[in-house]
């Protein structure tokens, strides 16, 4: 779904991202861990085209997007929830969600999934975004990204500064989104056998959501991760399966 090769980025002469290569697979959560200042957000900005990469390549769904403008990446199906949420404080919850929907060609209705995952948003549709609590704003930011029905969802530190109970809701939502389309496509292919071939092709093409989760909160990242990456000063110093994170000593490496 997303393939990054040998990505390099500098800020005024200092080498921030150092030859990064990795992939994010559909239907899977890839957790990217690393302490403050190691380059996680810079990497997300490169993926979104908000910062120009110096060298290397970024491919999405087999298409080279290394030099594509941000709006094309969004249109191609990359949803981005930036660090610090950045909702529109003066717009209502509903208007914020519609802003997300506006980036989807032909989109007219906020998907039910958004309200299934975050019921609080439905009950607050007419409130202004800025009047919501921090955790609710984070749910709104994720809901807005989901409204465009992304194929790849990038979340930069969604747990930053929010309460544990809401962190749990957000974790559940991330997991559900990653699995959901895969399950729907599989059951359809079983019910309608003559369309099995079609369904498989659709799954292989764009039928699933891939999630790239940037996180410093170890337990949250581990509980969700199918794969993990650990970044230190612009490089990946460890990577592997989410299930191996404890055994690999990722918690200790993060705490050093
Ligand atoms: N716009 C910028 N100009 C110059 N340096 C920056 C800029 N943004 C971030 N940095 C520096 O780049 C490094 C990586 O920052 P960042 O990607 O935000 O790290 P993280 O998200 O892992 O905390 C830090 O040393 C930070 O000070
Ligand atoms: Mg950051």
CATH of the domain at 29: 3.40.50.300
201 alpha carbon to ligand 2 midpoint, in Å? 36
Q: What is the pLDDT of residue 69?
A: 96
- Give percent above pLDDT 70 in the chain: 89
Phi, psi of 56 (to 5 degrees): 105, 180
To test the pocket of ligand 1, the residue of 12, 42, 231, 237 to mutate (highest count of ligand atoms within 8 Å of its CB) is: 42
For the sheet containing 2-11, what is the strand order? 14-24, 2-11, 55-60, 63-64
CA 156 to ligand 1: nearest atom: 21
In whole angstroms, give the CA distance from residue 184 to residue 202: 12
Closest CA to 38 of 214, 252, 220, 222: 214
Angle 44-178-116 from CA coordinates, rounded to 5°: 110
Which residue has 């040998």 as its token pair?
A: 6
In whole angstroms, give the CA distance from residue 211 to residue 170: 13
Q: Tell me the pTM.
A: 0.86
CA 51 to ligand 1: nearest atom: 1
Number of residues written out for the chain: 256
Q: What is the pLDDT of residues 11-42, one digit of tens each?
A: 988 999 999 999 998 888 899 999 999 999 99
Q: What is the pLDDT of residue 21?
A: 98
- Give percent above pLDDT 90 in the chain: 51
Q: What is the pLDDT of residues 227-242, one digit of tens each?
A: 999 999 999 999 999 9
- For the chain, the average pLDDT equals 84
Q: Bridge partners of 241? A: 227
Q: What is the pLDDT of residue 211?
A: 87
Pick the residue whose CA is nearest to atom 3 on ligand 1. Answer: 11
The DSSP secondary structure of 3-36, one letter per residue, reads EEEEEEEEETTEEEEEEEEEEE-TT-EEEEE--T
Q: What is the pLDDT of residues 75-105, one digit of tens each?
A: 999 999 999 878 999 999 999 999 888 877 7
Domain residues for 219? 2-255
Ligand 1 is surrounded, with C-beta below 6 A, by: 11, 16, 34, 36-42
Phi, psi of 148 (to 5 degrees): -90, 5
Q: What is the pLDDT of residues 165-198, one digit of tens each?
A: 777 777 787 887 887 655 544 443 333 222 222 2
186 alpha carbon to ligand 2 midpoint, in Å? 36
Split into its structural domains, the chain has a count of 1
DSSP 200: H
Q: What is the pLDDT of residues 97-115, one digit of tens each?
A: 998 888 777 777 898 888 8
Q: What is the pLDDT of residue 120?
A: 86
Is pLDDT of 207 > 70?
no
Q: What is the pLDDT of residues 124-171, one digit of tens each?
A: 999 999 999 888 888 899 889 888 888 998 989 988 877 777 777 777
Alpha-carbon dihedral of residues 50, 53, 59, 64, nearest 10 degrees?
90
């Amino acid at each position: 779904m997303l393939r990054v090769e040998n990505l390099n980025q500098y800020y005024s002469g200092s080498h921030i991202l150092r030859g990064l290569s990795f992939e994010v697979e559909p239907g899977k959560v890839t957790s990217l861990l690393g302490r403050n200042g190691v380059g996680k957000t810079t990497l997300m900005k490169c993926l979104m085209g908000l910062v120009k990469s110096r060298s290397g390549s970024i491919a999405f769904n087999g298409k080279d997007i290394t030099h594509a403008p941000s709006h094309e990446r969004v249109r191609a199906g990359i949803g981005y929830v930036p660090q610090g949420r950045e909702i529109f404080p003066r717009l209502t919850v509903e208007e914020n969600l519609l802003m997300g929907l506006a980036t989807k060609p032909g989109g007219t209705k906020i998907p039910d999934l958004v309200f299934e995952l975050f019921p609080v948003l439905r009950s607050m549709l007419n409130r202004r975004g800025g009047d919501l609590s921090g955790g609710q704003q984070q749910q709104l930011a994720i809901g807005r990204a989901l409204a465009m029905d992304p194929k790849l969802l990038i979340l930069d530190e969604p747990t930053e500064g929010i309460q544990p109970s809401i962190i749990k809701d957000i974790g559940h939502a991330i997991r559900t989104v990653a699995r959901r389309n895969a399950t729907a496509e599989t059951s359809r292919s079983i019910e309608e056998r003559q369309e099995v071939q079609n369904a498989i092709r659709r799954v292989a093409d764009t039928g699933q959501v891939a999630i790239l989760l940037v996180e410093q909160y170890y337990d949250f990242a581990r509980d969700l991760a199918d794969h993990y990456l650990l970044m230190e000063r612009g490089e990946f110093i460890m990577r592997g399966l989410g299930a191996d994170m404890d055994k690999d000593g990722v918690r200790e490496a993060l705490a050093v």
